[in-house]
Amino acid sequence: MSSLHKLGSSSLLPLHAERHYMLSSDPTSLSPQRCFSCGYPHCKLNLYSRSSSRMHYFSSMTTSVGECHLGQKKATLWKAFMSHGTRFVHSSKESPSRRFNEEWSGLVVRPENRLKQPSLTVAVDIDEVLGSFLLALNTFIAEQYLCEHNISEFHVYDFTKVWQCTRAEADLRVHSFFKSKHFDKGILPIPGAHKALLQIASFCNLCVVTSRQNIIKEETLAWIERHYSGIFSEVHFGNHFALEGEARTKSDICRGVGAHILIDDNPVYALDCAKSGMEVLLFDFNNSYPWSKNQEPQHPSITRVHDWDEVERILRLKSSSSQT
C-alpha cells in the first residue's frame, strides 16, 4: 500500500498516490437498511485514505447506504475515484481483516471496469484562484502595521510596490503573516471553486502548482485538505520569493507533471507557460483582479476566465474534444 510522501526538498508531494477505501460497520448508527454491497446491517459509507503518515477523512462522502440515494456531489466524487483506479477493501470490527479481504477480492475495481482515464492534466494555482490570499493578508497588514489596503490597489502582484517598501521589509511582513491566525484560518475558498472542482475531477486529473514557499508546505497541505479534500492528486511548490532554497518556474513544474492546462491569475506566469506550449486559463474572479489586467498577455493560448463555472464549461469542452 502506498503511503503519503514525506516533506522534503522535492517539489513533488502527492497527497495520495494510491487510495484504499473501506466500508466499515458503524454499530452506533442503528438503521434498518443494509449495505448495498455486502448485506451487513447498519453500515455507513466511511471513506478514508489509509497511509502510514496520515489519514484523510472525507466527511462529504459519508452517507447511509442501502435504499438511500447518493447525492450528486457524492456520486461525482465516487466516479472520479473509480476513474483513477480506486480499490475498495472491506473492513469491520466484527471479523478478521483477512476474511474481508477474501470476501471483497471480487469487488475491487478492476482495470477493465474503470472509467476511462482522464485525458487532460490540469494544474491549478492556489492564491486568488483557490483561496483569497490577499484579503487575509490585507487584514493582517492593517492590524499589525496600521496600513489599509484593498485589492483595487494591486495593479501588480508585487507587495514592494503596493506597500512602498524594500524587498527585505516585504519578505519580513509576509513571513510574519505566515505565522499569524489570518494565514492559518483567514484564507477563504474562492466562491464556486469547490463545487466546480468536484465536477472537473471526474474527467480531468487535477494537481496544484503554486509559487508558495517550501517553508509553508505543511500549512498549505492542511488548508487544501480542509477545503479541497480528495480533489488533487499532487501538490507542487515553486518556492518563489523564499528566504532560502531554490525556486522553480511554474512552466518547469508543469512540464514535469505533464500538465496540459494551467489555471492561474498572474499574467506573468500565464505567458511563461503559454510560451512553453501549454494552454492557460487566466483567472480574473468577477473581473476584480487589477494585476491580471495590467499586463495584457498577447498569446493565442491564453483565455481569460471570470469564475469557476466558466472554467468548468471550458474544461468540459476541451476534455470532450481530446477524447474524439
* Choice among 26, 127, 252, 284 that is catalytic: 127
Q: Residues 222, 217, 169, CA angle at the centre, nearest 5°?
A: 120
In the structure, what pLDDT confidence band is assigned to residue 117 with cuts at 50, 70 and 90?
low
pLDDT at residue 95 in the model:
39
Q: What is the mean pLDDT of residues 106-120?
A: 52
CA distance 23 to 14: 24
Query: 57-66, 69-78, 304-313 — which one is most confidently predicted on average?
Result: 304-313
Model confidence over 168-216: pLDDT tens digits? 999 999 999 999 999 999 999 999 999 999 999 999 999 999 999 999 9
In the structure, what pLDDT confidence band is assigned to residue 94 with cuts at 50, 70 and 90?
very low
Residue 129 has a CB neighbour count (10 Å cut-off) of 24
CB 295 within 8 A of CB 268: yes
* pLDDT mean across residues, the chain: 73
Q: Residues 146, 151, 153, CA angle at the centre, nearest 5°?
A: 80
Tell me the domain boundaries of the chain: 17-113, 120-131+189-323, 134-185
Q: What is the mean pLDDT of residues 267-272?
A: 94
* Choice among 125, 264, 265, 284 that is catalytic: 125
Q: Is the pTM here over 0.75, yes or no?
A: no
First CA to last CA across the chain, in angstroms? 35
Query: 33-42, 44-53, 55-64, 150-159 — which one is most confidently predicted on average?
Result: 150-159
Q: Residues 255, 261, 262, CA angle at the centre, nearest 5°?
A: 85
Task: Find residue 64's DSSP bridge partners.
Answer: 44
Catalytic, 307? Answer no
Kindly report the CATH number that applies to the domain delimited by 120-131+189-323: 3.40.50.1000
Helix/strand/coil for 297: coil
Alpha helices in the chain (DSSP H): 72-83, 97-103, 133-145, 159-163, 167-178, 181-185, 193-200, 217-227, 250-257, 267-275, 290-294, 308-323
pLDDT at residue 314 in the model:
97
**Cα 239 vs. chain centroid, distance in angstroms?**
18
In the structure, what pLDDT confidence band is assigned to residue 119 with cuts at 50, 70 and 90?
confident
Q: 236 is written with which cell numbers?
A: 507542487
Residue with more model confidence, 320 or 287: 287
